[in-house]
Amino acid sequence: MASTVLKFRDVSVVRDGNTILDGIDWTVESDERWVVLGPNGAGKTTLLQIAAAAMHPSTGTAEVLLESLGKVDVFELRPMIGFASTAAARKIPRNETILDVVLTAAYSVSGRWNEEYEEIDLRRAQRVLAEWRLDSFADRRFGSLSDGEQKRVQIARAVMTDPELLLLDEPAASLDLGAREELVGLLGGYASSPASPAIVMVTHHAEEIPQGFTHALLLRDGKVVTSGPFAEALTSETLTETFGLPIELTERDGRYAARAS
């Protein structure tokens, strides 16, 4: 049975006098896969920071995995949340092996010190590497991988702990067409599995929405333009309103493309 993983009520974030998020109401259930779209500066990353329990709202209430931010020890909450972002990737030592990058997630550290790993964690890391087509890279250094390979490692690290909520901040940014399609295909397979957790992915491009995703939240100037199942929330009209120019959205076999009309 589905359970609620995120419940934001009238969430606002104010920084240096600027309202970055403004009165956000948003609920995510465990069987939903969300994409968050909006122009640069709309507040997407800030929204994800709250979902990751890495930031509190200035006003309003945010429940993450049924716990209210501000009332819960976030260090207990965070191991249940997988978060892949460029900021998290910067913390990965470039000389760490891929196996260790993924394995250290189980111990909530980046950079191997001298932990004794359990056999069960090792086996899980090897399974996760295979799922994300990284098994042949296990002994390679993180810094020696291509951008596309590094993105897959970041996601493998984020899912290593078997999280209840997976947050992805622009996972396909800067990838070439082949690397993007490989990643979107892998994410589509993962998202389509009933065993996968709730997913929220921030992206700039409709072409990067994997198959199996179900819901969209469209943000503009820190406010929700629309949110809900794709049939209502991801349309030419809602994208036109969000981006402030006429946009035509097309869909084929669960993949999307958007262009100015």
Ligand X SMILES: Nc1ncnc2c1ncn2[C@@H]1O[C@H](COP(=O)(O)OP(=O)(O)OP(=O)(O)O)[C@@H](O)[C@H]1O
Contact residues: ligand X, CB under 6 A: 15-16, 18, 20, 38, 40-46
Residue 221 backbone class (left: φ over 0; alpha: ψ -120 to 50; beta: rest): left
Residues 20 and 215: their CA atoms lie apart, in Å, by: 22
Least distance (Å) between residue 85 CB and ligand X: 10
CA 247 to chain centre: 25
Residue 38 or 171: which CB sits closer to ligand X? Answer: 38
Q: Of 41 and 189, which has the nearer Cβ to ligand X? A: 41
Q: Minimum distance between the CB of residue 180 and ligand X, rounded to whole angstroms?
A: 17
Cα(164)–Cα(82) distance, integer angstroms: 8
Task: Give the Cα separation of 199 and 5 in Å (integer).
Answer: 10
**Closest CB to ligand X among residues 41, 93:** 41
Question: SS3 of 45, please?
Answer: helix
Give the burial class of 119: count Cβ atoms within 10 A of its Cβ; 0-12 exposed, 13-18 middle, 19 or more buried: exposed
The distance of Cα 109 from the centroid of its chain, to the nearest Å, equals: 19
DSSP-assigned beta bridge partners for residue 68: 63
Closest distance to ligand X from the beta carbon of 258 (Å)? 15
Question: Closest distance between ligand X and the C-beta of residue 38, in Å?
Answer: 6
Task: Tell me how far apart the alpha carbons of residues 136 and 234 are, in angstroms, rounded to a whole number.
Answer: 38
Please report, for residues 3, 180, 186, 223, the alpha-carbon distance to residue 19 in angstroms, rounded to integers and kept in the order given. Answer: 31, 33, 36, 10
Least distance from ligand X to the Cβ atom of residue 230, Å = 20
Residues 186, 156: Cα–Cα separation, whole Å: 11
Q: Which is nearer to ligand X, 48 or 128 (CB)?
A: 48
Nearer to ligand X, 22 or 31 (CB): 22
- Smaller CB separation from ligand X, 15 or 259: 15
Nearest-approach distance from CB 130 to ligand X, in angstroms:
32
119's tokens: 């056999």
Shortest distance, position 215 Cβ to ligand X, whole Å = 18
Cβ atoms within 10 Å, residue 170: 20
Which residue, 199 or 202, has its beta carbon nearer to ligand X? 202
